[in-house]
Chain A
């Protein structure tokens, strides 16, 4: 990506009368006695949101956030400060604060820069500018009116369009120098339907590191992609109108392909982040080489997928992303690492050092986490279940990485009775233990799908966009938190 260095430094540094040539001296101020490593993270992020409800585009908002984060490390200690202003004075003040963690020790050194090269995974242009404001408003109104025309039971339609464009520049005392320009767009539709006094909601959305034209393209069903989301939101809402209480108790569970990969994100992903494993606080700590899942499970974290929501050309520490094998045929192969945890654990970094913004410290985070396809026909997986639950769509999830307990909530689920999908059931939370649930995976489908691009992961108060995916799979027993029999 070295060809991005100039345009990015022009955006980020030039307004404060700085240039790439000034960075070694600025890092030099940071790397005094007792500091092992230091970096500067410059960021400019513009974003906008347009929202339609009650049939009108009520509000739009524009946001500009910029600044520089300054980090100094001494052993396991990290000092951090940031500034909204990007100029020499502000950087010096932040550097003074960040390096206050240093104790006496060796004088650190700033290595000569070597620009990181990586393949571009997304367009460099501004994704917000490909449609005029009038066209954005028209798109929202068109989706709203066409959705309302689909069914008289619709009470409310909410449509939103959101986009962001981010410039980042990382300069590190180890000579790392990397720039990236990242687009991210999203479109969401929520529908509320009412029938005989009963009300239900359905929602669907998608997006990725691309621009708004993505929503105008024709989807797999021959329809404008944005309208496809609307039709899907309505379908889910109508299914839920018929839902009966979900069962309560332990049952076989079949997870649908795609967004149900939230399961892996929670049950496996977080527990394999380097920081938890360095600290020994994860249920997966110290288990490399052990069987931690059924041999049918091969799970990767892959930041290199073109245009995906969780993808990055380089991570927020300037490390190129990669496809990291986490679990291969059930055996734990590796963790996801940022620079600090890789250095302290004596392993290679994996391009998973991410941060919400310049005002936050990087830490090991997922990119796109998914399970590779297996051999079973999805229909055959359903047929193998006498009485169980089929989870077609999920809401959010959460994990306690120490005890290994994880949950996710269904937003569209059905009973399986006698090998057939039957009645839809109300949303319920499912709970399990990560390694235990993964060892109970008894069938894996041949239908790997990735999600549509709506995932946001929270950790220590920081949110980052992520992707998930999986084929249809069967877990022999999970606890289902309904109220029914």
Chain B
């Protein structure tokens, strides 16, 4: 693999050729089957703080990885080095490992007839020809808007503009080769608000495949500032059991725990509390979750999974019932089920919702905790036990009363899923999981 100039779709043929070279080298060295992934990407990150440039970073990465098989034995290797020698050595390293790993009945490529037949154009590539100077200007504009929002915004903690583009090609010894170019651009703003008693930090951001489609820098700065100021005066509440509303930007995290619990790797390792729950009612009957992998410009869109299988739209949860696990080829074989083309994860998940916005959900909640930030990794996927640090707002009579911090929220995910009262219409769309705010009937809030 030689050094590649550029990263756009124009380099796809070169990367495909490299994939074929690597596969040929693996065969030459004696591998019975193999799969290869080659990527090249580049980016620019600029950060400003207090009206000045803080960092300008240029990123450019290139590398490849190979997983190869000697019959049912497997070995993997990857490198950022380039050139024919790097290919030879990396293949040799993977092969040396495969000579020592154990025979595994389930190991191996997916069946050839399951390979994706075409690579769809999902409109993921929109390079942003933005100079560092212009990127700095936009970031400064964003930060200035934040400072202008409220006199209690006392400090900046960094406003960053990132732009990224990359190309990735996957191929395997069945003859499948597929690749695509994609882009991702973001603008984020972190601000600190202060008064005599406290300093509070908060942020806002936007991310998009298309740079010009990012939210206005002024609106991002304002939102970051308002969020930081709103937290001043935060205090714990007394320990209680109350309804909890997860704000939309946290809902994706909540559902990502669900996805982890139904993913093949955790299921066959007996390390998920949802093992054996296919066909069971896990959510209220009005709730459905769908995967739609082929949305144009979608942040999670992909036309094939990391085993080369064609992705397809499907129902994960249908009327509250678990309709599909998330399986790749290997975990599927371990469980005696076909792959769901989810090797590597999900591609654009949509949680069904009602027509109430967050304010309406607060009214529905009456008295409880609106959570806008979570801390720590207090989740036990084996049992579903959930306990995390939280910050947000205390709600009485359906209205926000004061900011809250230094509390925990705890429950068990199985109960929490069943006790989802409503999903709001205030959709979070800046990620792979699209959901509105999630109201949960009852959790333990620990505080003073």
Contacts and interface: CB of A to CB of B under 8 A. Distances in A.
B201 A400 contact: yes
Interface residues of A, number: 77
A37 to B, nearest CB: 14
Contacts of B49: 279
B208 interface: no
Interface string A415-439: 0000000000011111111000000
Given A156-B271, A250-B448, A402 B157 contact: yes
B227 to A, nearest CB: 13
Contacts of B78: 61-64
Interface secondary structure of A, over-half rule: strand
A158 interface: yes
Contacts of A409: 376-378, 387
Contacts, number: 253
A81 interface: yes
Nearest to B3: A85
Nearest to A484: B444
Contacts of B97: 48, 50, 59-62, 133
A429 B378 contact: yes
Interface in B214-237: 231, 234, 236
A410 B198 CA distance: 28
A80 B383 contact: no
A83 B388 contact: no
B382 interface: yes
A354 to B, nearest CB: 16
Q: Which of A63, A82, A158 has the most CB of B within 10 A?
A: A63
A49 B107 CA distance: 18
Given A279-B155, A403-B201, A396 B377 contact: yes
B58 A398 contact: no
Interface string A61-84: 111111100000000111111111
Contact of A63 (B61, B77, B155, B391): B77
Interface string B53-80: 1111111111100000000001111111
A176 B126 CA distance: 43
B385 to A, nearest CB: 5
Contacts of B94: 61-62
Contact of A67 (B80, B101, B132): B80
A283 B198 CA distance: 9
A137 interface: yes
B270 A407 contact: no
Given A59-B101, A60-B101, A82-B60, A199 B75 contact: no
A201 interface: yes
A177 interface: no
Interface in B99-136: 99-104, 107, 132
Interface in A264-281: 279-281
Contacts of B103: 56
Contacts of A85: 3, 82
Nearest to B334: A54
A242 B195 CA distance: 47
A398 B408 CA distance: 13
Nearest to A249: B239
B155 A77 contact: no
Interface string A337-362: 00000000000000000000001010
Contacts of B90: 62, 64
Contact of A84 (B75, B80, B445): B80
Interface string B196-212: 00111100000000000
A57 B100 contact: yes
B229 to A, nearest CB: 13
A63 B101 CA distance: 17
Contacts of A408: 376
Nearest to B411: A483
Contacts of A100: 56, 132
A398 B389 contact: yes
Contact of B389 (A155, A283, A359, A481): A481
Contacts of B445: 248
B425 interface: no
A25 interface: no
Contacts of B84: none
A183 B448 CA distance: 46
Interface string B325-353: 00000000000000000000000000000
B295 interface: no
B200 A407 contact: no
Given A199-B270, A481-B387, A101 B407 contact: no
B17 interface: no
Given A77-B55, A133-B99, A479-B407, A402 B80 contact: no
Contacts of B448: 249-250, 479
B409 interface: yes
Contacts of B132: 100
B355 interface: no
Contacts of A63: 77-79
B77 A407 contact: no
The 3 A-B residue pairs with the shortest CB-CB distance, nearest first, are A481-B408, A56-B102, A407-B389
12 contacts: A60-B97, A62-B77, A84-B82, A133-B99, A156-B271, A249-B448, A281-B192, A281-B201, A403-B198, A405-B406, A431-B406, A481-B388
Given A98-B58, A281-B155, A479-B236, 19 more contacts: A59-B76, A65-B79, A80-B57, A85-B3, A101-B53, A158-B269, A194-B270, A200-B382, A201-B382, A248-B446, A279-B49, A359-B59, A400-B375, A402-B200, A405-B391, A429-B408, A480-B446, A481-B444, A483-B412
